[in-house]
Amino acid sequence: MTLSLQSSESVKTIAPKTYPLVLIHGLRNAHRWTEAFLRRCLAIWGSDRVFVVHLNRSDRLWSAEYPEGYVHFAGTLHQGAGCDTVERQFEYLRHKLDLLEAQCGLTRPFDTIAHSMGGLVLRRYVSEFPNDVAAAVTLGTPYGGAPMARDFLWFGYCVGAGRAFRNLTPRFVQDFVRRHPWPSGVPLYTVRGIHRGISWGVGGELFIGTLYHFLMRRRSDGLVPVDHALCPDSQHLADLADHNHLHLVSDPKVADLCASVLP
């Protein structure tokens, strides 16, 4: 199903959510949840029921106030998050969730929206703790791996994310997905962007990625080929027309789409 999100149902028409929401970012935390996205999540899930995990060593717990209420965060907001191996990021995720439960009111099970590599970290978590997650949506997660991570591995080391890049190569990811099957009792939905035109991104990554995939003759969201963003364990929710990898975490209407399937 290819969707245009130029118009979206009102938040008021979305049923109240049974479970709180946990948001998990992707590689380097370069593509971050925007204020508009977080406020839409608050409008749907409610104040003090939206939690953001930063996948780094920091144990800092903090909150941000918006007109709709409070979002709670675990970890420091910087691009050093999401730079380690999937296994190490899984350990960060497990620890941060424990902190949020103990000190910020997170309850289990919870809904989850994970972006890009964060979807692989979530997969590792759910394979060990299936009862913690009520349902999940992954946005632009490279279940078939990211060829750019293989071909630009040298760049990963230059920006301090070499370990993460190694764990995003097609060979590693395809083996990882086989070794960590998604539990059948936890609903999983995938969303992928279909990028058209040229975008810059945060530091030129979407510009380079778009040219790279154009030369490879592959459709992509700018960073992840569309054929690599599908998962055999999931129900594919939507292809989002004119959405690149960054739009998936910046467009608040994507939160509406996720909320339509999360309990």
* DSSP state letters, 123-175: HHHHHH-GGGEEEEEEES--TT--HHHHHTHHHHHHTT-HHHHHTTSHHHHHH
Domain boundary assignment for the chain: 2-259
On average, the pLDDT of the chain sits at 94
Question: SS3 of 121, please?
Answer: helix
Instruction: Please give the model's pTM, rounded to 2 decimal places.
Output: 0.95
Provide mean pLDDT across the span 47-51. 98
pLDDT tens, 59-79? 999 999 999 999 999 999 876
Q: Which CATH number fits domain 2-259: 3.40.50.300, 3.40.50.1820, 3.40.50.720, 1.10.1050.10?
A: 3.40.50.1820
Joined tokens for residue 31: 């593509």
> What pLDDT band is residue 8 in, cutting at 50, 70 and 90?
very low
Q: Read off φ and ψ for residue 200, nearest 5 degrees.
A: -90, -40
Does residue 190 carry a pLDDT above 90?
Answer: yes
Tokens 């080391």, residue located? 157
